[in-house]
A and B are shown apart, each in its own frame.
Chain A
Amino acid sequence: MNLGNNLDILTITFYGSAILLILIGLYAALVKRSLIKIVIGLSIIDSGVHLLLVSIGYLQGGTAPIFSPAVIDKNPVMVDPVPQALVLTAIVIGFAVTAVALALVIRLYRHHKTVNIDEIKNLKW
């Protein structure tokens, strides 16, 4: 692993916590038996990925990419607005998928009266 000169506190905070979120969500999605917890796990994975994506855009000492009156003539260094825009879209899409997932869970519950994944396995090979 090449951690060399990049292993400072900020790197650990942002990348590390994002990756930690992804791993926690992955654990929940793969191990938990309740459908609701699985959906929550997927949602946590999404949060981790979004955090990671936004962190990519950071520039040392940069400020928010908004040309407010206070800042417009001073030409400061601005962080990359593109990852922010991408994450905006990704968050909304992640929400939409979570909503559909929860609707499916509700319908499975109506039918089987349980959200335990072991009991809802009609479709075999």
Chain B
Amino acid sequence: MKKVIVLLLLAVVGYYLVDVFSQISFGENRYEGQNVRDFYLDKSKNDLQVSNSVTAIVVNFRGFDTLGEVTVLFLAATALGSILYRRREDAHGGVVLFSASRIVRAGSHLLFAPILLLGAYVFIHGHLSPGGGFQGGTIIATGFLLMLLAYHDYKVSHGVLSWVESLAGLTFVFAGLGGLILGKTFLENFLPVGTINYLFSGGIIPIIYIAVGFKVGAELTGVLYTLLNEKEYKKQ
């Protein structure tokens, strides 16, 4: 009975979604007057000298959103720690994980360093090619995930992760405050922009994105580590 109601609800929802969205023409230029898209594309190429305009939007034009997003991640890691907190004496007994097979263990050692390298490449070149801080940080976290899954007793130092998180976050906020201090607005670019398609272009944009890359990598690794180290209660 409940399934029937839900299916009816889905039909109604689906109908309305299709109705509204099918009227949004796919692939057509819908704006006659000024719109943000053309402005961003133009300014990204000429004023900011950043070739990946998505990066320019994420870090500069809408950098405040990115700051909020970084905060969301930080708070999610905090909330996770708060929700899963256990006093030391309550958590003992077997771990829920077990080590993987020999192939995985051997392969993980081989792959770990290249994965980290790829992740670092992606977030350092965020302004030149597709990618950026979030993507690169996630890749780094997958490297750590591989090691965590291969070895059930792989340890990651919470202290180091916490330092990296905090310092990276501070870098971002200071980069923003730098603009304020130098008499401009928050998060405004205050370094020379260089030339497009070079590594040192875009002013503070690569700096912020690198900080974001470190932060996301550290945070995701911390989250995975916390979730994977769930211990069984010892049976009394």
Touching chains A and B, CB distance < 8 Å: yes
Measured CB to CB, the residues of A under 8 A from B are 1-3, 6-8, 10-11, 14-16, 19, 22-23, 26-27, 30-31, 52, 55-56, 58-60, 64-69, 72, 78, 80-82, 84-85, 88-89, 91-93, 96-97, 99-100, 102-104, 106-107, 110
Rounded to whole angstroms, the CA-CA distance of A100 and B77 in the bound complex is: 8
How far is the CB of A52 from the nearest CB of chain B, in Å? Answer: 7
Rounded to whole angstroms, the CA-CA distance of A60 and B13 in the bound complex is: 28
Rounded to whole angstroms, the CA-CA distance of A103 and B85 in the bound complex is: 10
Interface size of B in residues (CB-CB distance below 8 Å):
60
Rounded to whole angstroms, the CA-CA distance of A84 and B58 in the bound complex is: 9
Rounded to whole angstroms, the CA-CA distance of A58 and B28 in the bound complex is: 8
How far is the CB of B42 from the nearest CB of chain A, in Å? Answer: 11
Q: Are B21 and A52 in contact (CB under 8 A)?
A: yes
Q: Are A31 and B69 in contact (CB under 8 A)?
A: no
CB-based nearest B residue for A64: B130
Q: Could you say which residues of chain A place their CB within 8 Å of the CB of B14?
A: 19, 23
Rounded to whole angstroms, the CA-CA distance of A8 and B181 in the bound complex is: 53
Q: Could you say which residues of chain A place their CB within 8 Å of the CB of B76?
A: 96-97, 99-100
Rounded to whole angstroms, the CA-CA distance of A80 and B35 in the bound complex is: 11
| Known A27-B6, A99-B76; contact A19-B40, beta-carbon cutoff 8 A | no
Rounded to whole angstroms, the CA-CA distance of A72 and B197 in the bound complex is: 10
Q: Could you say which residues of chain A place their CB within 8 Å of the CB of B84?
A: 103, 106-107
Rounded to whole angstroms, the CA-CA distance of A7 and B25 in the bound complex is: 9
Q: Would you list which residues of chain B between 123 and 154 have a CB under 8 Å from chain A?
A: 128-130, 132, 134
Q: Which 6 A-B pairs have CB atoms at the shortest separation, nearest pair first?
A: A96-B76, A60-B27, A85-B57, A67-B51, A103-B83, A11-B26
Q: Could you say which residues of chain B place their CB within 8 Å of the CB of A15?
A: 18, 21-22, 26
Q: Could you say which residues of chain B place their CB within 8 Å of the CB of A68?
A: 51, 128-129, 197
Q: Are A93 and B72 in contact (CB under 8 A)?
A: yes
CB-based nearest B residue for A85: B57
CB-based nearest A residue for B17: A19
